Amino acid sequence: MKIRISWPAGHVTATLDDTPTAATLVAALPLQATAHTWGEEVYFDTGLTPALEADARQVVDPGTVAFWTEGNALALPYGPTPISRDHESRLASPCNVLGRIDGDPRALATVRGGDAVRVQRA
């Protein structure tokens, strides 16, 4: 399944894996939210409350599409966060991994806190 994440300055598409949280997200589309940034990560509340999956991870590759269950938020890291060690993408806590951004995840650097974000099927 592909999704499109758009904001005033741009957009990315992402390919989602077949996971319970990805299915929950897709069923709720389209979603609109307000973006927040944390280092080189964009996150936003989805209003969804999936459970933490057994393979949840805190350190992920840049461009990973993750779901932060503690914040009911989609988390999109494109580089280091304030708690990263060296150049890793370390999320606030373990997150469900849903898939990957297609192409260069650094496009997310144009998202500003407070931007309107829309997630829809691609």
Beta bridge partners, 99, equal 16, 65
At residue 8, the pLDDT reads 98
* b/e burial code for range 79-101 (CB count within 10 A of at least 16 → b): bbbeebeeebbbbbebbbbbbbb
> pLDDT for 55-83, tens place per residue?
999 999 999 999 999 999 999 999 999 99
Residue numbers of the chain with a pLDDT score lower than 50:
none
Task: Compute φ and ψ for 110, nearest 5 degrees.
Answer: -85, -5
Q: What is the dihedral of CA 114, 80, 4, 116, to 10 degrees?
A: 0
At residue 118, the pLDDT reads 98
Residues in CB range of 93: below 8 A, 6 or more apart: 58, 68, 70
